[in-house]
């Protein structure tokens, strides 16, 4: 029998606010253990949590960017469980009145992954297990999270990867999170079940907890899919379980058994008052949502005739996209700008983080000036390329490296003179060309380019040389 | 109705130990508490506007401005056990 994968995601994203969700401690990553703490985030009795306004705004923006309906009235609830990462023995979260509901993320194949909800909650502390003892650092405790809950609409590992990447891009674009999976600021719980192709019933699902790498998500889902299919094929039944993925062995194993079935006894947090957001406030926040990655790709392809791949590579990083748009403003061919970015500038930005932070010396205006020199026929591409390297090294404008004489170009008689010189100085190449070796002319053109220090028009030189030889 | 099983389950979730001989008393006590709370259902809701919380407060927000955290020594003062600046939970044998 043929089976299909059915998967849904619960994605935790740490918000990039300055302070924690209920107190004014910093959210900065790292820091010595237990130095970003106060009585509120270590859960001492008698304290009064107070909701960070920015958390509500960030979460609403996340909702708007993923096509959610924003609730005018929402509230905070207590989710009770006893575990040392949670000093109050409850997590403040949202239960039946989340901030955002009924959104979707659209994949490149046109399918929409529906979002059931996005709610806000506090992160737990970090537990470090050493020699059987548990060390607790509450710096992360109280850092604001949004939990993005999808419907089980994902049908393959490829869709899952694209979904996670897309969420990552959206959240980075709107600036609500850096979504660094390796630092834990984005983590996924993946629900996987299988069913015979054509069936519309949902199978029993298992939940793989706390995945923090897209590669491992793919591997874990594949493993889990195969495990469940084999189980069913051999007459067994899938047990509803919470699993841990072991990346060194590429397997999943149960985390907690049935006897620990969750019973969170949610109730409204009496310390926190109702969150009320007016339609006007929502509209104001809507105005802050920038054009998103995939919208930019469409525009770059349509308006600037970039290839889909180039457009995507540039639009993927918000800062690079902004740089590209500024540098292309008013130039004849934005493709030239794109080529400089992807060809030369990317070579200096090795990692994803480098590209994300996009820390280069050259400004968009400087690149635009350089490209305009090409547009105006004042310099050739080769010279522009070497000039750009110098600009990137120093942060100085093109005019520092290109002299007036460079920009003058070559007049026709000078070009003809150089072409004749090329033919006279390279009898072997001329001979080869006459024998029918078309390529030989290239070395003659190369001679001209070198003699003119890149100023000659290569195409014109080639024609001229052919006519001289001919 | 609160059953003995409910009490056992809630005690387990709350990590409380309740002795076998306490269970009957506990079950009755919890039943009484819930019955008392249920008296609210007797009240008529007619003509009463729905309200969201008892004091009807809304939007008590804090601005997103960092205030220095506590000294770590202060934070760790209540800890039973400390090591390397962490709260420490020792392995239970």
Domain of B27 in residue numbering reads as: 1-42
Count the alpha carbons within 13 Å of A435 in the hemisphere toward its beta carbon. Answer: 8
Which run of H or E residues covers position A215? helix A214-233
Residues of chain B contacting residue A79, judged by C-beta atoms under 8 Å apart: none
- A56 to chain B, closest Cα gap in Å: 9
What does the mean pLDDT of chain A come to? 90
Closest by CA to A139, choosing from A12, A272, A23, is A23
Domain assignment present for residue B84? The answer is no
Question: Residue A408 has what pLDDT?
Answer: 59
CATH class as words, domain A412-469: mainly alpha
| CA A442 – CA A119 distance, rounded (Å) | 64
What is the distance of C-alpha A208 from the center of its chain?
23
Taking the CA of residue B24 and the nearest CA in chain A, the distance in Å comes to: 23
All structural domains of chain A with their residue ranges: 3-285, 293-407, 412-469
Domain assignment of residue B75, yes or no: no
Pairing of strands A51-52, A100-106: unpaired
Q: Is A465 helix (H, G, I), strand (E, B) or coil?
A: helix
Mean pLDDT within A406-431: 80
Of B9, B75, B83, the CB nearest to A42: B75
Smallest Cα distance from A131 to chain B, Å: 8
Do the beta carbons of residue A217 and residue A161 sit within 8 Å? Answer: yes
**Structure confidence by residue, pLDDT tens digits, A47-76:** 999 999 999 999 999 999 999 999 999 999
One DSSP character per residue, A312-330 reads HHHHTSHHHHHHHHHHHTT
Spatial contact of A66 and A109, defined as CB atoms under 8 Å apart: no
In this structure, what CATH number is given to the domain that contains residue B21? 1.10.20.60
Choose among B61, B70, B76: nearest Cβ to A53: B61
| CB contact (8 A) between residue B58 and residue A128 | no
Is residue B57 domain-resident? Answer: no
What tens digit of pLDDT does each residue of A118-170 get?
999 999 999 999 888 999 999 999 999 999 999 999 999 999 999 999 999 99
What pLDDT shows up at residue B53? 67
Across the interface, whether the CB atoms of A137 and B86 are under 8 A apart is answered yes
Give the CA distances from residue A28 to residues A17, A115, A184, A220, B48, in Å, rounded to whole numbers and listed in that order. 9, 29, 13, 30, 47
Provide the terminal-to-terminal Cα distance of chain A, rounded to the nearest Å: 71
* Residue B78 belongs to a domain: no
- Which of A15, A18, A24 has the most B C-beta neighbours within 10 Å, making it the best mutation to test the interface with B? A24
- Mark yes or no for CB contact A134/B84 under 8 Å: no
- Rounded CA gap, A9 and A210, in Å? 11
Could you tell me which residues come within 8 angstroms of residue A363 by beta carbon, excluding any fewer than 6 positions away?
none
Give the dihedral sign, CA A270/A272/A273/A279: negative
User: Which of A25, A33, A34, A81 to probe by mutation at the B interface, max B CB count within 10 Å?
Assistant: A34
Distance (Å, rounded) from C-alpha B82 to C-alpha A358? 42
- Cβ distance A18 to B64 less than 8 Å, yes or no, reads yes
Question: Strand A69-70 to strand A100-106: parallel, antiparallel, or no bridges (unpaired)?
Answer: antiparallel
| Edge-to-edge order in the sheet of strand B82-83 | A126-130, A133-137, B86-89, B82-83
Q: Give the tokens for residue B67.
A: 């205030």
Number of folded domains that form chain B: 1
Q: What is the pLDDT of residues A362-372, one digit of tens each?
A: 999 999 998 88
pLDDT band at A407 (very low <50, low <70, confident <90, very high): low
Q: Residue A67 burial (CB < 10 Å; 0-12/13-18/19+)?
A: middle
B49-89 per-position pLDDT tens digit: 776 666 778 899 999 999 999 999 999 998 989 999 999 99
ipTM score: 0.82
In a domain, B7, yes or no: yes
Q: Which two tokens stand for residue A110?
A: 């046109």
In percent, the amount of chain A with pLDDT more than 90 equals 60
């Amino acid at each position: 029998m043929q089976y299909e994968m059915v998967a849904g995601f619960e994605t935790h994203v740490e918000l990039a606010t300055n302070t924690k969700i209920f107190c004014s401690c910093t959210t900065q990553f790292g820091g010595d253990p237990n130095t970003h703490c106060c009585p509120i985030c270590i859960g001492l009795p008698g304290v009064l949590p107070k909701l960070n306004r920015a958390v509500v705004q960030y979460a609403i923006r996340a909702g708007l960017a993923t096509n959610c309906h924003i609730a005018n009235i929402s509230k905070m609830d207590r989710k009770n469980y006893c575990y040392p990462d949670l000093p109050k023995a409850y997590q403040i979260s949202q239960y039946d009145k989340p901030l955002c509901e009924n959104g979707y993320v659209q994949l490149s194949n046109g399918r929409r992954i529906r979002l059931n909800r996005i709610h806000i909650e506090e992160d737990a502390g970090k537990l470090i297990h050493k020699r059987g003892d548990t060390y607790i650092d509450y710096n992360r405790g109280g850092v604001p999270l949004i939990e993005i809950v999808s419907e089980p609409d994902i049908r393959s590992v490829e869709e899952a990867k694209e979904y996670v990447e897309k969420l990552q891009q959206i959240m980075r674009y709107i600036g609500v999170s850096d979504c660094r999976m390796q630092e834990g600021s984005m983590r996924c719980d993946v629900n996987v079940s299988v069913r015979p192709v054509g069936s519309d019933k949902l199978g029993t699902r298992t939940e793989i907890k706390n995945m923090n790498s897209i590669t491992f998500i793919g591997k874990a889902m594949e493993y889990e899919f195969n495990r469940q299919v084999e189980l069913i094929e051999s007459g067994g039944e899938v047990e509803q379980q919470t699993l841990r993925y072991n990346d060194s062995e590429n397997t999943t194993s149960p985390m907690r058994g049935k006897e620990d079935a969750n019973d969170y006894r949610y109730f409204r947090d009496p310390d926190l008052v109702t969150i009320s957001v007016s339609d006007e406030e929502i509209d104001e926040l809507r105005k802050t949502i920038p054009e998103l990655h995939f919208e930019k790709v469409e525009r770059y392809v349509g308006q600037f005739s970039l290839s889909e791949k180039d457009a995507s590579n540039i639009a993927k990083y918000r800062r690079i996209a902004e740089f590209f748009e500024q540098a292309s403003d008013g130039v004849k061919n934005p493709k030239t700008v794109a080529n400089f970015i992807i060809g030369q500038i990317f070579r200096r930005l090795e990692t994803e983080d480098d590209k994300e932070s996009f820390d280069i010396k050259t400004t968009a205006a400087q690149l635009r000036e350089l490209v305009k020199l090409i547009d105006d026929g004042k310099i050739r591409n080769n010279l522009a390329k070497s000039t750009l390297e110098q600009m990137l090294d120093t942060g100085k404008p093109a005019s520092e490296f290109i002299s007036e004489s460079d920009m003058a170009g070559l007049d026709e008689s000078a070009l003809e003179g150089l072409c004749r010189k090329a033919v006279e100085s390279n009898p072997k190449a001329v001979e080869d060309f006459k024998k029918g070796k078309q390529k030989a002319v290239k070395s003659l053109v190369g001679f001209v380019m070198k003699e003119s220090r890149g100023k000659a028009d290569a195409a014109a030189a080639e024609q001229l040389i052919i006519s001289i030889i001919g | 109705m609160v059953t003995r099983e409910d009490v056992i389950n809630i005690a387990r979730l709350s990590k409380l130990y309740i002795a076998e001989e306490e269970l009957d008393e506990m079950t009755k006590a919890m039943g009484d508490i819930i019955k008392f709370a249920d008296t609210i259902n007797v009240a008529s809701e007619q003509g009463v506007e729905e309200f969201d919380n008892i004091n009807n407060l809304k939007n008590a927000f804090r601005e997103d401005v960092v205030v220095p955290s506590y000294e770590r020594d202060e934070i760790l003062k209540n800890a039973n056990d400390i090591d390397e600046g962490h709260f420490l939970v020792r392995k239970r044998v």
